[in-house]
Amino acid sequence: MTLTAYNGVSIPSFMYGTAWKKEATTGLVLQAVQAGFTAIDTANQLIHYDEARVGEALRRLAEEGVPRDRLFLQTKFTPVNGQDHRLPYDGTAPVGTQVRQSFESSLAHLHTEYLDSYVLHGPYYRRGLGPEDWDVWAAMEQLYESKRTRMIGVSNVSAEQLALLCERATHKPMVVQNRCYAAFGWDRAVRDLCRAHHILYQGFSLLTANRDVFTEPDVRAMAAKYGATLAQIVFRFAMQVGMLPLTGTTDPQHMKEDLECGRLTLTPEDVQRLETIGM
């Protein structure tokens, strides 16, 4: 199953996230693709990701007969304030130059000539968008216009910031990737904006940010009713409300189970209960 962005580019409906995998990154990406994942998310940010080890997995997959065009690759430009000393660009260069240098570094890490999705890891400020954000976005728009990335997007963004970007950008984001808390209506305000602008919403930390949800009797009852795991209930709920979920599981069995959530169909009543369960 795939979802289609407003620019006509399709993306698999479930994505494997590679944050915090460190030395295990290569092996876990190989396992995820073997389990059935065809979309991989990473970032050029050594504090939390190892993009080069993702690329090593992709190189091995190509040798095993899984070509580049069978996979959807998404990575991110991370500003200086989200990096440590191991910068993938010249930290003293203009921001637009940093974006281009980081992008070229990502292509080299991932052994590819293009990206499917290139994402700003997060705006520079908590509120509003500053000059740096607009410079980054202009550089990303140029990469998109040159067809070196098929989509551009933004992560860790507020509804206010997303509205500004949609209003003023030449090309509004095709994807948004946010941490998703049940306590805040699963990021309802941002999801509503995405729906209005036909932007694909990617939800991460659906499990780790919502541990309390798993103790809810209603959720446990749903798992029993559908013969599903608690994770499958949450991931299927996410899909049914229009999200593209990410999972970062390191367990091969959980990888397969997570992908199998697509066989479920939650009732409208159960979806509505989950929408408000943590609030």
* Architecture in CATH of 11-211+243-250: Alpha-Beta Barrel (3.20)
pLDDT at 278: 85
The confidence score (pLDDT) of residue 7 equals 98
Pair of tokens at residue 24: 């295990």
CA distance 5 to 12: 11
CA atoms of 279 and 160, how far apart (whole Å)? 21
Give burial (CB, 10 Å; 0-12/13-18/19+) of 186: buried
Nearest to 119 by CA among 195, 206, 17: 17
d(CA 32, CA 247): 10
pLDDT score, position 262: 93
Q: Which two tokens stand for residue 188?
A: 């309802």
| pLDDT for 279 | 85
Per-block mean pLDDT, blocks of 10 residues, the chain (279 long): 96 98 98 98 98 98 97 98 97 98 98 98 96 98 98 98 98 98 97 98 97 95 98 98 98 98 97 94
DSSP structural state of residue 88: S
Q: Is the pTM for the entire model greater than 0.75?
A: yes
Alpha carbons 272 and 68: distance in angstroms, whole number: 39
The SS3 assignment for 138 reads helix
Cβ atoms within 10 Å of 144's Cβ, excluding its own: 20
- Token pair of 32, please? 């995820």
Q: How far is CA 10 from the centre of its chain?
A: 14
Which long-range contacts link 97-106 to residues 24+ away (Cβ below 8 Å)? 99/136, 99/139, 99/140, 99/143, 100/139, 100/143, 102/44, 102/77, 102/78, 103/77, 103/143, 103/148, 103/149, 105/44, 106/44, 106/51, 106/75
Write the burial class of residue 65 (CB in 10 Å: 0-12 exposed, 13-18 middle, 19+ buried). exposed
Q: What is the DSSP string of 139-169?
A: HHHHHHHTTSBS-EEEES--HHHHHHHHHH-
What confidence score (pLDDT) does residue 103 get? 99
Alpha-carbon dihedral 52, 47, 201, 183, rounded to 10 degrees: 150
**pLDDT attached to residue 219:** 97
